[in-house]
Amino acid sequence: MFDLTLAGARAGLRKGEFSSRDLTEAFLGAIETLNPVLNAFITVTPELALRHAASADAALARGEHGLLTGIPLAIKDLFCTQGVRTTAGSKILEHFIPPYESTVSANLLRDGAVFLGKANLDEFAMGSSNITSAFGPVVSPWTRNGDNRPLVPGGSSGGSAAAVAARLALGATATDTGGSIRQPASFCGITGIKPTYGRCSRWGIVAFASSLDQAGPVARTVEDCAIMLQSMSGFDPKDSTSADLPVPDFAAACRRGVKGLRIGVPREYRSDDMPPEIETMWQQGLAWLREQGAEIVDVSLPHTKYGLATYYIVAPAEASSNLARYDGVRFSSRTDGADLNELYENTRAAGFGSEVKRRIMIGTYVLSAGYYDAYYLRAQKIRALILKDFTDVFRTVDALVTPTAPSAAFAQGERMDDPLKMYFNDVFTVPANMSGIPGMSVPAGLDAQGLPLGLQVLGRPFDEETVFAVGAAIERAAGFTALPGMRAGGGA
């Protein structure tokens, strides 16, 4: 069962080869064995999962086949789940039990999914390595050849990505504010897509940076992502930025092929610090697309070089405002003080970890009187130019292909001394958030250390279909079948 893709499991359920209960029990068993090592889940919900599985089996017996009927999934612990603790990876929300369900997770339940539990993440989704979670780091199921040091799964959706890579779930929800779907997918050898800003409702997702946050799936294959995104997407009157547009058939788009498509290669994504293996993988990916009938063209995105710097102004600015609500009065854990101000200070000092505090301080600084124009306003202007770069190139090309991240996964402890080194991870992913365009990471191969490397496909706003077509073409050519050492059904 652990070798099944989501699409394969769905076919097996429909044919009655096994029940959702069989599938759910198998995954719960695997979680029991491997989660103590990987720490991919903060909360496991076996009773809830078995209840969902029972109603899925009843639906299947009645011949009702929803998009995800009976499919066990992990939910990033940033999505509010009714009656199930939702921590955002933070001590400050350690005891928060939402009285409502996020729109995205409600959509998955409507379509028959089974929830196995809540996946670990960087605190408030701030990070690229899952080191900042108040519930301990996630360990990647991958290791370097001949080296057993624990590696990071990437972040912030590291629990989601590790769970899928280790075969503890058939898919998982994730969110991407600056790369948190695509970078962990790349590190863990799986697929993930951040759709266009507005495609999925943000209602009920703990907010990090509201103008950048977007939900999306991680799963084993491009088609599995298409099936999940189909369910997660759609207009929601409860999110004023959600797009009132029809949701296309994403799975059908995976079968379109790339013949006649023009694929752009942005020259600014070439960096001297990038390992040569990543450059080689990139060239290989472009060759695969050319062989399948696509035309490869060089393009320029001149403002890309400001992407990282402006992201690390805009994202903390919005975070500092969003996180003001955790004051010990309503949602959060409380640490008392002599008066109200002291209660706020004590609560926030005890409840937030150091990366979150750093972001709040940067954000408060760039928004403060006297600095607002120099930093925040300037960053917003450059953000408009980054979007204009993409608008211009998408007049002549249908999609862009780049590496997802400037390196493969690194070991726990590496790059931890200097926050700027950690921020550099996001150099290829943040432009898609700054401009709102869709982006996917597809595993393309292994590096010399035996670690997965992903390629990123970027597309026009609300044209996820072309992104799926290109992603599927890379997947077909790459034939990526490598498995991590630590996985369910494969021994450790």
User: Could you list the residues that contact ligand GLN (CB under 6 A)?
Assistant: 125-128, 156, 176-180, 208, 315, 426
Which of helix, strand or coil describes residue 370?
Answer: coil
| Smallest separation (angstroms) from ligand GLN to the CB of 7 | 27
Which of helix, strand or coil describes residue 186?
Answer: helix
Backbone angles phi, psi at 79, to 5 degrees: -90, 125
Contact 259, 226 (CB under 8 A): no
Which of helix, strand or coil describes residue 404?
Answer: coil
> 177 vs 441, which CB is nearer to ligand GLN?
177
Hey, what are 428's tokens?
């290829």
Question: Which one of the listed residues 180, 231, 435, 441 is annotated catalytic?
Answer: 180
| Smallest separation (angstroms) from ligand GLN to the CB of 334 | 26
Question: Which one of the listed residues 19, 76, 233, 320 is annotated catalytic?
Answer: 76
Taking the CA atoms of the chain, what radius of gyration do you get in angstroms?
A: 21
Question: Which one of the listed residues 19, 90, 102, 156 is annotated catalytic?
Answer: 156
Q: How many angstroms separate the CA atoms of 406 and 279, rounded?
A: 10
**Which whole-number Å values give the CA distances from 48 to 21, 42, 51, 81, in the listed order?**
12, 15, 5, 11
> 179 vs 484, which CB is nearer to ligand GLN?
179
Any long-range contacts for 365-372 (C-beta under 8 Å, 24+ apart)? 366/313, 366/316, 366/317, 367/317, 367/320, 367/321
> 125 vs 161, which CB is nearer to ligand GLN?
125
Q: How many angstroms separate the CA atoms of 144 and 150, rounded?
A: 9
Q: How many angstroms separate the CA atoms of 409 and 425, rounded?
A: 10
180 belongs to the catalytic site: yes
| Smallest separation (angstroms) from ligand GLN to the CB of 177 | 4
> 125 vs 164, which CB is nearer to ligand GLN?
125
Region of 72 on the Ramachandran plot (φ > 0 left; ψ -120 to 50 alpha; else beta): beta
| Smallest separation (angstroms) from ligand GLN to the CB of 307 | 12
Which of helix, strand or coil describes residue 193?
Answer: strand
Residue keyed to tokens 């652990």: 2
> 126 vs 170, which CB is nearer to ligand GLN?
126
| Smallest separation (angstroms) from ligand GLN to the CB of 280 | 25
Who's near 291: CB < 8 A, 6+ residues apart?
Answer: 477
In DSSP terms, 81 is beta-bridged to 84
Hey, what are 439's tokens?
């982006």
> 185 vs 469, which CB is nearer to ligand GLN?
185
| Smallest separation (angstroms) from ligand GLN to the CB of 199 | 16
233 belongs to the catalytic site: no
Residues with catalytic roles: 76, 156, 180
